[in-house]
Amino acid sequence: MLHAQTTAAARRVALRAALAAARSGGGVLRFPGAFNPLSALLIQELGFDGVYVSGAVLSADLGLPDIGLTTLTEVAGRAGAIARVTDLPAIVDADTGFGEPMNVARTIQLLEDAGLAGCHLEDQVNPKRCGHLDGKAVVDAGEMARRIRAAVAARRDPNFVICARTDARAVEGLDRAADRARAYVDAGADMIFPEAMADLDEFAAIRRAVDVPLLANMTEFGKSELFTATQLASVGMNVVIYPVTLLRLAMGAVEDGLRRIRDEGTQAGIVDRMQRRARLYELLDYAGYGVFDDAIFNFGLRD
């Protein structure tokens, strides 16, 4: 009811424990991308391991392309609203850290304050691009290492997970991506996110390069095949994110529904595809609020 029943600190401890278990052969942690707090509630109810907050989704929600136009305030506010409602650990896409190393340090502290369990920072230059588009450019490895060191120095909760994403595979090749992964671990990164791997063998190559948890991005219409969690576990991945899946599902349904209303003049033909009022109220825990004030939940529902 209202907010998560666990503290942000407890969720960070839980994430660290889950990552350790995954590294010991406990399978892959699955983090669907929530496009709002309500979808985060559903992710928790359906038994996933965590919630991911995608920069691409946040940008799209604001009607913007994913090219680094969002601000730290927007990202921290939206991610905090999502993290606040779920007892699952939430990881957010912090892009390039919103500026120079000092800005990166402030980013980490604001994300901690917002209740996130971790974030990832990437080695692209600004303006950045979606990780599965062509034409990316990366900063030198030393500059990215400075971003990571600033992030590590700034965090106040040692359990806040700092993940380093490298986009170097598409720019410099797989060997250089592996070299960067090693350098980023040396700089203090807790987890590595190798973006836009071509196949399972490439994921396995990054696994051989470093001995920290690894995150795989299973985004639709990208460079990577949509591997199963079992396949990813077989090559040593520990976390898999589905960053834009829920938004794409929702927007596909919304567009179809709008076309039906436009063409038919009524939504009557698509009511059977909608979430029922009773189901929404169940997800929002109307009954739980009634424990505090029976004047709120004093009515029946027709489904």
End residue of a domain, out of 244, 262, 277:
244
Strand partners, 93: 120
Domain range enclosing 142: 8-244
By the 10 Å C-beta count (0-12 exposed, 13-18 middle, 19+ buried), 265 is classed as exposed
pLDDT at 102: 97
- Are residues 260 and 234 located together in one domain of the fold? no
End residue of a domain, out of 221, 244, 267:
244
Any catalytic annotation for residue 217? Answer: yes
Q: Is residue 301 part of a domain?
A: no
Whether the per-residue pLDDT at 131 is higher than 60: the answer is no
Pure H helices in the chain = 8-23, 37-45, 55-61, 72-83, 101-113, 141-154, 169-172, 174-186, 200-209, 229-234, 245-264, 277-284, 286-292
Q: How many domains does the chain have?
A: 2
Provide the pLDDT confidence category of residue 301 given band limits of 50, 70 and 90.
low
Strand partners, 183: none
Which tens digit of pLDDT belongs to each residue from 194-232?
Answer: 999 999 999 999 999 999 999 999 999 988 899 999 999
Q: Is residue 279 part of a domain?
A: yes
- Are residues 120 and 160 located together in one domain of the fold? yes
What three-state secondary structure class fits 161?
Answer: strand
Which tens digit of pLDDT belongs to each residue from 107-128?
Answer: 999 999 999 999 999 999 976 6
- Are residues 25 and 130 located together in one domain of the fold? yes
Give me the CATH number covering residue 104. Answer: 3.20.20.60
Catalytic residue among 11, 16, 165, 207: 165
Q: Is residue 180 part of a domain?
A: yes
Q: Is residue 20 part of a domain?
A: yes
Q: Is residue 222 part of a domain?
A: yes
Any catalytic annotation for residue 186? Answer: no
CA distance 34 to 245: 9
In percent, the amount of the chain with pLDDT more than 90 equals 86
Any catalytic annotation for residue 242? Answer: no
Any catalytic annotation for residue 93? Answer: yes
- Are residues 265 and 188 located together in one domain of the fold? no
Contact 4, 50 (CB under 8 A): no
Edge-to-edge strand list for the sheet holding 29-32: 29-32, 239-242, 215-217
- Are residues 240 and 285 located together in one domain of the fold? no
Any catalytic annotation for residue 122? Answer: yes
Summarize the confidence of residues 233-260 as an average pLDDT. Answer: 98
- Are residues 235 and 168 located together in one domain of the fold? yes
Contact 19, 238 (CB under 8 A): yes
What's the pTM?
0.93
Catalytic residue among 66, 112, 167, 190: 66
- Are residues 53 and 189 located together in one domain of the fold? yes
- Are residues 143 and 281 located together in one domain of the fold? no
Q: Is residue 189 part of a domain?
A: yes
- Are residues 19 and 35 located together in one domain of the fold? yes
